[in-house]
Amino acid sequence: MRCWLPAAVLGLVLTTSGAMAGPTLLFDASNGKVLYAEDQDDQWHPASLTKIMTAYLTFEALKSGRLTLEQKITVSENAHVLPPSKVGLPVGAEMKVDLAIRALIVKSANDVAVMLAEAIGGSEEAFVKKMNETAQRLGMTRTRFVNPHGLPAPEQVTTARDLGKLSRAVLADFPEQASLWALADMQIGRRRLRTHNGLLKTYEGADGLKTGFICDSGYNVVASASRDGRRLVAVVLGESTGRDRNVRAASLLQHGFDSYGWKQMFDTTTIDSLAVGEAKAAASIRTSLASWQCNGRKPPRRLIAKKRKGKPRPPRKPTRPARAQLPPTGYRRSKSTW
Kindly list the catalytic residues. 48, 51, 108
Nearest to 179, CA basis, from 234, 250, 105: 105
DSSP state of 162: H
C-beta of residue 28 within 8 angstroms of C-beta of residue 263: yes
Give the Cα separation of 21 and 91 in Å (integer): 39
C-beta of residue 222 within 8 angstroms of C-beta of residue 231: no
Nearest to 134, CA basis, from 111, 117, 115: 117
Residue 249 burial (C-beta neighbours within 10 Å; 0-12, 13-18, 19+): buried
Q: Cα torsion at 20, 53, 50, 41 (round to 10°)?
A: -40
Q: Angle at the Cα of 259 (from 256 to 261), degrees rounded to 5?
A: 120
C-beta of residue 74 within 8 angstroms of C-beta of residue 94: yes
